[in-house]
Amino acid sequence: MSCHINFFPAVKVKLIKLTTGSCGFTFVGIPGQMKKVSSKYCLLAMVFIALFVLNACGQNKTLQPEKNQKMKDTIIKTDDEWRKELSPQQYYVLRQKGTEAPFSGKLLFNKEKGVYKCAACGNELFTDAMKFNSDCGWPSFDNAISGGRIITHVDTSHGMIRTEIICARCGSHLGHLFKDGPTASGLRYCVNSLSLEFVSSKDIAALGEDNKVATNDTITLGGGCFWCVEAIYEMLNGVVKVESGFSGGTTRNPSYEQVCTGITGHAEVVQIVYDTTKTSLDEILKVFFTVHDPTTLNKQGADVGTQYRSVIFYRDDKQYQIAKSIIDSLNSEKVFKSPVLTQLSKFEAFYKAENYHQDYYNQNKDQPYCQLVIRPKIEKFEKVFKDRLKKNTKE
């Protein structure tokens, strides 16, 4: 006879057939409110189902929790207030850290363009560009909108060690974070549909500019002379802004002349703001490793010194994981004759260089350095990434 499990009213999923004896069991309403079973086989089935629900998003390795940050507009409500505002199913998942039945969520197969928000407070968490099909039974994302919108902590419930993800604004349970994603980030945000509210791009447009989600992210890169690197990223589709400056040293607000001495510890860098709906950190870094030599220590061509080192200043664990994955792949596949020496350093501060360094190539195209050093790099970029160029390099 067939056994069924009903996690929530109107959500009944056929799970298993038992060929011996008669059996019938049901999870009524909220999981945990369970009628007594009439057969030992049903008990075994229940154990099997519980293990499936808990381990469908299992992993061998657990991510170390990121450095959590509280949002400025934190929402604090009493338990009674949450009960009044949320449905019983939402309350169970969001406030009691429950799990919805696999393959039952209404957003699991959603492919519409838009933004995924916390169902409890409206905090913008993911975009459609971050969603992918993981076949695990719950909506999955390979990244999250930047800005400390999600916090993590180690979850040791049910005899496992996992990384729980929580809304940074209201503290509601979202799901778990795993290090088994198929994309360059290597991450999989496994989220309950009941924890999410989806707003389509059409609806966002109808609300006006003030309600549109910020989809920009920032990365800081050092690949030798910042004039060269800046000129290239200004041409990449999806890049919103590029600024030349200095990072990684001990001197506050250094001048170009001070950095050139090598004693400040700073590297010449470009700070890149990019639209995550048009490009990705993966693409940003592929360009980075194409247009400079990451195998030379403190040197790019004729430019020698620690200020010309190859370095990626990452802002969070996601950026670190993506960068490390690409570097590991370059080394394992022996893309370069020598090992990649690019440093991975935690971002601390960016100091914008003097105005005459900004947009240097476009302002000084006839200068010998621009013609002999920068132009060949641009031509290489244009050849390799010809389908990713902005229609107007000034857009």
Residue type, position 299, single letter: K
Whether 291 and 238 have beta carbons less than 8 Å apart is answered as no
Alpha-carbon distance 90 to 68, whole Å? 24
How would you classify the pairing of strands 196-200 and 239-247?
unpaired
Provide the token pair at 11.
């959500």
Provide the token pair at 42.
């049903």
Instruction: Look at residues 26, 29, 167, 172 and name the one whose alpha carbon lies nearest to residue 88.
Output: 29
Catalytic residue among 23, 42, 121, 225: 225
Alpha-carbon distance 28 to 12, whole Å? 10
Whether 82 and 201 have beta carbons less than 8 Å apart is answered as no
Consecutive H or E run containing 332: helix 317-332
225 is catalytic: yes
Alpha-carbon distance 185 to 187, whole Å? 5
Whether 148 and 168 have beta carbons less than 8 Å apart is answered as yes
Residue carrying structure tokens 């519409």:
112
Alpha-carbon distance 221 to 230, whole Å? 10
Residue 101 dihedral angles phi and psi, to the nearest 5°: -60, 140
190 is catalytic: yes
Provide the token pair at 110.
């959603």
Catalytic residue among 118, 121, 190, 228: 190
**Which residues are known catalytic residues?**
190, 225
